[in-house]
Structure 1
Amino acid sequence: MPVVWEKASKVGGTWVYTPQSGKDEHGYPIHSSMYKNMKTNLPKEVMGFPDYPFPSGDNSFIHHTEVQQYLESYMEHYKLNPHIKFGHYVEEVKPVMKIEGPPAWDVTVKSLESKKLSTTTCDALLVCNGHYSVPRIPQIKNIEKFQGRQGHSHDYREPSSYKGCTVVVLGAAASGLDIALELSTVAKEVLLSHNHPTPIPSELPPNVRQVRGVESALENGFVFGDGSSAEADVILYCTGYLFSFPFLSKECGITIEENVVKPLYKHIINTKYPSMAFIGIPFLVCPFPLFDFQVQYYLKTQTGTLPLPSEPEMNASIKNEFEDHITKGLHIKHFHKMGKLQWQYTDNLAKVAALPILPQAVRDLFDAVHATRIASLMTFKRSSYRITGETTFVKVK
């Protein structure tokens, strides 16, 4: 029987909002990076698991509480609750070698209620701890001189404490853009600092100004990549997150180098011990559908329905994919970054695992919204969409 160990008291992972930041009541770092007013930047019509769509409704871009409710509904629909041990923190995972066959896995967990440790031996293991909880803090020259406030989007909850401030938002991916717009409602000025090849093409509020990436700090502000400078009261790092698996023992054979988790065949399978898999490593994706493909693929490799290549063959496949990534001029740190590549990726998983592919309408709507978002940051979430067939969708407002 499957068992899930979950530190929180409810399902949802990063979607479980708390107004707290820093440490939780048990002294562990807060897992969620959710902020109070956050709405999805994908329409719910593309976000659902393939076998469990979101409830219909007028709005496509929904509040984070609705996503968390959807996940609770999913759990109830598939009667998953008996398999989940809430309030359990995973302390250590290590392989248990056998004379023949793949290793088993000893999973040691702590009950947050009783503080007692227990160890369970499992035949196979899925690592599903996400990668939006350990902040990536950039190294900035002379940052120790800066007299203002510093923070990371992981700890951002709502804008009131930034009222009247000049805020440097460092990073212009999804969170940086979203938070910059929210801060503009209370801040004196928001300096959106990034190194995109071209400026964000969208109209922005009059008190949001784009500047190059931060080069160094001053006592009362920052110097940017083009040599210009500005005074600032706060810098908010919207600089992403680190992959982190502190519970994996060295014997598991997993390393993280330049934001690449190694050695993962198809971004999932630990090639050293294929009974260990990682779900959700790729980013810039349609998350729940991708998770579904990954899990179903992995299960077929474990039941014997889908034999895996040998360890050398899997490692050679990873090497070829990595070399192709570099040849295309892409950053090493973006090896797990998908974007439009996710469709080819999930199609490949579907083909080898004999699964239905994702409907074309889901792909097209995802890509269309991504393009609209960049051009209309201030208004794109007002639109609503409906998928009308396998290959069609309509904009309804």
Structure 2
Amino acid sequence: KPGVMYMALRVAVIGAGAAGLCAARHLLSKPGTFSPPVVFESGGTVGGTWAYEERVGTYDNGRAIHSSMYQNLRTNLPKEVMMFPDFPFDPELDSFIPHQEVLRYLQQYCAHFNIAPHIRFNTAVERVRPVVMETTDKKPRTEWEVTSSDDAGSERTERFDSVFVCSGYKLYFLKWELMHSHSYRHPDPFSGKTVVVLGAKASAIDISMELSTVAQKVYLSHRPPPLTFPLPPNVTETESIQKIQDDGTVLFQDGRVVSTDSLLLCTGYNFTFPFVSGAELGVRVEADFVGPLYRHLMPPSYPSIFFIGLCTQICPFPHFHCQVQYCLAVLEGSVTLPSVQQMAQESDSWLEDRLRRGVPQRHLLRVEQEQWEYCRALANDANFCQIRDGVRALFQEVWRQRRVHPVLYRKHNYRLISDTQWERIAAHD
């Protein structure tokens, strides 16, 4: 209102991976509304899971190694689809790039928008707690008490007006006699061995193909339907695992029994936010589901803490780009939220509809083709640019190509030639 003085909002961002950097970039673009953010990063570098680490398990300081990159990973989305809409990749790169190039891109993004001075590296968030404040007009306002600790053991507690949770997924399952894809780095340790790979999504197929170059035999175990593309001669597709028997052999659903040297789980990751209480926020925080959240982003009772990037089977960087801008519009007041009761009802109705349709809990946040309408609705409400139709069309073409052949699809290169069109181009030398 004219003549009213406003204090710039202070925002905490948890994580300096792609989502956290995106949040910081847009917060810094609005200095009249937001103070420079404080970005908490438990590691020593930006990039999150894209920061490759040869070691697995924990760092010397006891903190978990977050990266799930393996040595030869290449993206399964072309850079033309994967990029943040306001920051393109180097056009000289091939469309499907190694993980080192994605990390370099995120480092360049960080440098271009001068984010690094606002990151507290080697600093973990221990607790996030809402504190309801009384104001002069008697309307309660929520502040957020954030407690963090650094590698020196120093702990501090600060107050913020909002929190962006951008800490990604964590390891789903890991025991000493098994290995999760999170801990896979390269195929050499499996040379001459028999390996059972559980799963049939992108990482399972990529790793199976890579293992086939050194392993004696690879069994690719997954639920129906069967794959529709050829596999290497030493890779056999099998049904799901029924049990691991007492003698260590693997019994599959079809009755086949296999003696294996290694069982590699490519089964996904957990949601884990040990620094927040789901009960306190009024949401469920479980291994494979967080919610119900309004617009997959915020607890209806506390619409100033935002969980960025919970949805799966999406185009991640553009998805973060849309979610962050919508959340900032909520904080600015340019998006007026429904009442708490209406937000809760809408969130509950969405969940009930998914469950009624038989969607298993582990897939509730898998949005796939719904992502485009979701992002379009966020953009319409918050008045920012839509994801281009050409990006959607190219994403769908690559999705189709990947089902035809999980290796050869990466030999293609693409270029966006307008807001609505793309073309296939010759590979770079």
TM-score (norm 2): 0.87
Range with bigger deviation, 311-320 or 285-294: 311-320
The 1-side partners of 2:64 and 2:110 are apart by 25
CA shift for structure 1 position 86: 1.1
Shift of the 58–86 alpha-carbon distance from structure 1 to 2, 3 Å rule, reads closer
Does residue 105 (structure 1) correspond to residue 144 (structure 2)? The answer is yes
Partner of 1:331: 360
Deviations 1:336-383 (A, max 9, x none): 101111111111111111121111110011111011111111211111
CA distance in 1 between counterparts of 2:98 and 2:370 reads 27
- 8 Å CA contact 2:146–2:157 kept in 1: the answer is yes
Query: Does the aligned pair in 2 maintain the 1:203–1:375 contact within 8 Å?
Result: no
After superposition, give the CA deviation of every residue in 1:166-210 in whole Å (9 maximum; x if it has no partner): 100001111111111111111001100000x32111111111110
Deviation at 1:105, TM superposition (A): 0.7
- Flag the 1:281–1:318 CA change in 2: closer, same or farther, 3 A: same
- For 2:384 and 2:140, locate their aligned partners in 1 and report how far apart those are by CA, in whole Å: 28
The reply to whether residue 382 of structure 1 matches residue 411 of structure 2 is yes
Q: What's 1:121 paired with?
A: 159
Match of 1:310 among 334, 339, 348: 339
Q: Take 2:105 and 2:187, find their aligned partners in 1: how far apart are those partners?
A: 27
Contact 1:149 1:233 in 2 (8 A): no
| Cross-structure match for 1:65 | 100
2:313 is matched with which residue: 284, 299, 305? 284
Over residues 91-135 of structure 1, what are the superposed CA-to-partner deviations in whole Å (9 max), with x where a residue is unaligned? 1111112124321111111111x220011110111000001x222
Runs of 5+ consecutive residues of structure 2 not aligned to the other structure = 1-34
Task: Give the Cα separation in 1 of the matches to 2:329 and 2:265.
Answer: 41
Partner amino acid, structure 1, of 2:172: P
Residue 292 of structure 2 contacts residue 348 of structure 2 at CA under 8 Å; is this kept in 1?
Answer: no
Amino acid at match of 2:254: D
- Aligned residue runs from structure 1 range 225-244, under 5 A: 225-244=253-272
Question: Counterparts of 1:10 and 1:332 in 2: how far apart (Å)?
Answer: 34
CA RMSD of aligned residues (A): 1.5
Matches of 1:20 and 1:257 in 2, distance apart?
28
* 1:298-340 deviation line (CA, Å, top 9, x unaligned): 0001111111111110111012211222333322321110111
Aligned-residue offset at 1:70: 0.5
Measure, in 1, the Cα distance between the counterparts of 2:398 and 2:161: 41
Partner AA of 2:322 in structure 1: F
Shift in Å, 1:254: 3.7
Task: For 1:178, give the aligned amino acid.
Answer: D
Q: Give the secondary-structure state (helix, strand or coil) at the position aligned to 1:24.
A: coil
Deviation at 1:220, TM superposition (A): 4.0
Could you tell me which of 106, 131, 134 is aligned with 2:171?
134
Using a 3 Å threshold, how does the CA distance of structure 1 residues 327 and 254 change in structure 2: closer, same or farther?
closer
**Contact 1:45–1:60 (CA<8 Å) still a contact in 2?**
yes
Matched, 1:90 2:125: yes
Q: Aligned pair 1:255/2:284, yes or no?
A: yes
What secondary structure does 2:171 align onto? coil
SS at match of 1:265: coil
Identity percentage of aligned residues = 41
**Which 10-residue stretch deviates more, 181-190 or 52-61?**
52-61
TM (norm. structure 1) is 0.94
Aligned counterpart in structure 2 of residue 362 of structure 1, from 373, 381, 391? 391
Aligned residues: 385
Runs (4+) off by over 3 Å: none
- Output the CA distance in 2 between the equivalents of 1:14 and 1:272: 31
Distance of aligned partners of 1:251 and 1:198 in 2 relative to their CA distance in 1, 3 Å threshold? closer
Aligned-residue offset at 1:58: 4.3
- Letter aligned with residue 242 of structure 2: E
Q: What are the Cα deviations for residues 24-64 of structure 1, in whole angstroms up to 9, with x where unaligned? A: 12101111111111110000010111111111124111010
CA contact (8 A) 1:102 1:275 kept: no
Q: In structure 2, how many angstroms separate the alpha carbons of the residues matched to 1:367 and 1:34? A: 24
1:39 corresponds to which residue?
74
Correspondent of 2:208 among 180, 185, 192: 180
8 Å contact 2:292–2:351 — kept in the other structure?
A: no
Distance in 2 of aligned mates of 1:294 and 1:16:
23
- Contact 1:204–1:377 at 8 Å: present in 2 too? no
Q: Does structure 1 retain, via aligned residues, the 8 Å contact 2:77–2:395?
A: yes
Q: 1:254 to 1:66 in 2, by over 3 A?
A: same
Q: Could you tell me which residue of structure 2 aligns to residue 151 of structure 1?
A: 179
Contact 1:33 1:154 in 2 (8 A): yes
What is the DSSP-based 3-state SS (H/G/I as helix, E as strand, rest coil) of the residue aligned with 1:210?
strand
1:19 is aligned to 54
CA distance in 2, matches of 1:225, 1:381: 33
Aligned equivalent of 2:226: 199
Say if 1:96 and 1:106, in contact at 8 Å, map to a contact too: yes
- Structure 2 Cα separation of the partners of residues 11 and 339 of structure 1: 27
